[in-house]
């Protein structure tokens, strides 16, 4: 991966999601689909999208005539502090958010097929590049997107979220591939519907995903009676960009309540949320963040991490952070008194891994008490060297630390670590036994015992505290986007598309070649409409006689109700221009 000034800041564990944009695999028909959607959208969105959309298209280097190349986009995006990377379809929500927190736009390298030209449930380059990229040129919106990523990447998910992600990813892959069987698509649809029905209490990730959907993807801005579009899902959908402004779609003032409103990616949205201006986005985001475990911590926060069965972190009031998969929490009088992780664990302070306390030092889990010592009003972290000596907390000496909770740590102190202010944040023991009532929590045979210092859990969040602590944080789905296999007939159709594309690029209106293409399309591909629109555009501008024949054929194809609006919109655009 070629890094630039923005992407070089990404944690290494995110690199595995980045793929090379398969530009050479885009067919001439793919290019025609891009061109049709973009030209139509730009024409209609001038009236119904937020003003910054059209301005942003030029700022982000997006050309309506050809699918953008990632390298070219990046050269321009870095001027506004962003970058773009190609990925394979949907990636895990926390990973998606984390990319965003680093000002990196995740762009699916696939492009919708002609059968899904109006709308696709799968992420594609039209949606990502033409929908998301232009709006980030607006500084206020750009900062919201970054903060949403920063906060969203720390949202704790549930095992059901993981199931839903995998189910939606599979459904989107199957729906967008013309080689998929109806049986497979129906089965995937039923699985997504089943999971939606089984969803009970929404996790933090489910809620912030809802906020993301109703703003970044399907947001409206302005007055509820006459709003404009800024959401990428609407900006990239011919069908929904028009339909969303109709009175049948309910317009609701945006608030934190949107976090509890679920969505269905396979259907048009029955309601949309409207912000008065972009500042409202950050206001609601902060309001929601205040409800998250990353800011509330406590027992509930740790319980969420345990239930998630995924890597997470806690931060104590001293700033010391423990990252791993949390497995157990002992509590007394509704207060946390001891926590455990399982497997590789790292200890950090303020987002920087403590030297000697990475996953190599703690490969089999970590446990530590929380709280004050019995009979001592002063917290351990507030003790001066004199205080520590008075209470027997001295290097090289055996000691017993009796916590108010009943946890007892007995062993010989080897060393300790302090923060930049000189406060003690970690104490290491040898020959150590840790007990709670009659339960043995740690015994000498397990080796060195490291105890973090703190009397409360002020934060709990998904992912590692330090991005350098772990090589692998997110798993890559085994459901890969299958490469579309084209028949010989389809491959030849793409050759005809390429010929039309070359005629336009070279401004060479060879009537004989165009007539030959028209005849071949009529005879071999009687249902093909987009290539005829492209031919009509060339002949109509120069008032070539062939234009009338093409128009007649397109009029016949309009009898198919699925194609009528597409053809009419295309013809109207050509005639206006």
Give average pLDDT by consecutive 10-residue segment, the chain, 577 residues.
Answer: 80 93 94 93 87 83 87 84 90 95 91 87 82 88 96 96 91 88 93 84 94 96 94 85 90 97 83 97 98 97 96 97 98 94 97 96 96 93 90 93 96 93 94 95 96 96 96 90 91 97 87 94 95 94 87 95 93 88
**Residue ranges in 406-560 assigned as alpha helix (H):** 488-506, 511-524, 530-541, 546-557
Measured CA to CA in angstroms, residue 446 lies from 305, 364, 440 at distances of: 25, 10, 12
Measured distance CA(387)–CA(176) in Å, rounded: 67
Return the domain boundaries, the chain.
7-286, 311-462, 488-576
Measured CA to CA in angstroms, residue 386 lies from 179, 378, 381, 418, 457 at distances of: 75, 13, 13, 15, 27
Q: Dig out the tokens for 451 from the structure.
A: 């105890």
What is the reported pLDDT for 1?
61
What is the reported pLDDT for 318?
95
What is the reported pLDDT for 408?
97
Is residue 493 classed as helix, strand or coil in its secondary structure?
helix
What is the reported pLDDT for 527?
94
What is the reported pLDDT for 338?
97
Reported pTM: 0.90
Residue 251 in contact with residue 227, Cβ under 8 Å?
yes
Measured CA to CA in angstroms, residue 47 lies from 231, 234, 243, 325 at distances of: 15, 14, 14, 50
In CATH terms, the fold of domain 7-286 is: 1.10.800
Residue 238 in contact with residue 40, Cβ under 8 Å?
yes
């Amino acid at each position: 991966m070629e890094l630039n000034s923005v992407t070089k800041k990404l944690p290494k564990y995110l690199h595995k999601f980045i793929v090379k944009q398969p530009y050479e695999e885009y067919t001439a028909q793919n290019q025609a689909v891009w061109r049709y959607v973009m030209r139509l959208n730009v024409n209609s969105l001038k009236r119904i999208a937020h003003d910054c959309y059209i301005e942003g298209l030029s700022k982000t280097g997006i050309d309506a005539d050809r699918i953008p190349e990632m390298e070219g986009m990046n050269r321009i995006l870095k001027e506004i502090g962003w970058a773009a990377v190609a990925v394979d379809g949907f990636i895990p929500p926390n990973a998606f958010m984390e990319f965003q927190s680093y000002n990196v736009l995740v762009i699916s390298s696939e492009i919708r097929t002609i059968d899904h030209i109006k709308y696709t449930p799968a992420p594609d380059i039209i949606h990502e590049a033409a929908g998301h990229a232009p709006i980030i040129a607006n500084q206020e919106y750009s900062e919201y997107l970054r903060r949403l990523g920063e906060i969203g990447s720390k949202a704790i998910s549930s095992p059901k979220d993981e199931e839903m992600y995998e189910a939606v990813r599979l459904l989107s892959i199957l729906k967008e591939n013309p080689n998929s069987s109806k049986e497979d698509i129906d089965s995937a649809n039923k699985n997504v519907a089943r999971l939606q029905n089984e969803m009970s209490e929404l996790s933090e990730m489910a809620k912030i995903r809802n906020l993301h959907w109703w703003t970044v993807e399907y947001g409206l801005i302005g007055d509820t009676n006459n709003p404009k579009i800024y959401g990428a899902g609407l900006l990239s959908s011919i069908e929904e960009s028009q339909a969303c402004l109709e009175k049948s779609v309910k317009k609701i003032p945006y608030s934190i309540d949107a976090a509890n409103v679920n969505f269905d990616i396979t259907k048009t949205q029955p309601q949309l949320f409207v912000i008065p201006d972009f500042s409202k986005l950050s206001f609601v985001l902060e309001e929601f963040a205040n409800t998250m475990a990353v800011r509330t911590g406590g027992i509930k926060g740790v319980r969420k991490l345990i239930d998630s069965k995924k890597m997470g972190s806690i931060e104590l009031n001293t700033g010391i952070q423990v990252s791993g998969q949390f497995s157990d929490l002992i509590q007394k009088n509704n207060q946390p008194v001891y926590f455990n992780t399982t497997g590789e664990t790292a200890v950090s302070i303020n987002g920087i891994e403590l030297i000697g306390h990475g996953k190599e030092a703690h490969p089999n889990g970590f446990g530590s008490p929380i709280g004050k010592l019995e009979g001592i009003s002063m917290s351990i972290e507030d003790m001066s060297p004199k205080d520590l000596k008075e209470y027997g907390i001295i290097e090289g000496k055996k000691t017993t630390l009796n916590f108010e909770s009943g946890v007892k740590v007995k062993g010989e102190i080897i060393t300790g670590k302090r923060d930049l202010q000189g406060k003690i944040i970690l104490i290491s023991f040898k020959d150590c036994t840790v007990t709670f009532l009659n339960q043995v929590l740690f015994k000498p045979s397990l080796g060195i015992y490291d105890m973090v210092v703190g009397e409360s859990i002020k934060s709990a969040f998904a992912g590692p505290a330090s991005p350098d602590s772990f090589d692998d944080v997110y798993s890559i789905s085994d459901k890969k986007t299958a490469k579309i296999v084209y028949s010989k007939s389809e491959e030849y159709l793409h050759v005809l598309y390429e010929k039309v594309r070359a005629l336009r690029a070279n401004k060479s209106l060879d009537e004989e070649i165009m007539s030959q293409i028209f005849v071949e399309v009529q005879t071999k591909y009687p249902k093909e409409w987009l290539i005829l629109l492209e031919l009509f555009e060339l002949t109509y501008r120069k008032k070539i006689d062939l234009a009338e024949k093409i128009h007649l054929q397109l009029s016949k194809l309009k009898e198919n109700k699925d194609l009528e609006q597409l053809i009419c919109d295309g013809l109207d655009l050509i005639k206006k221009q």
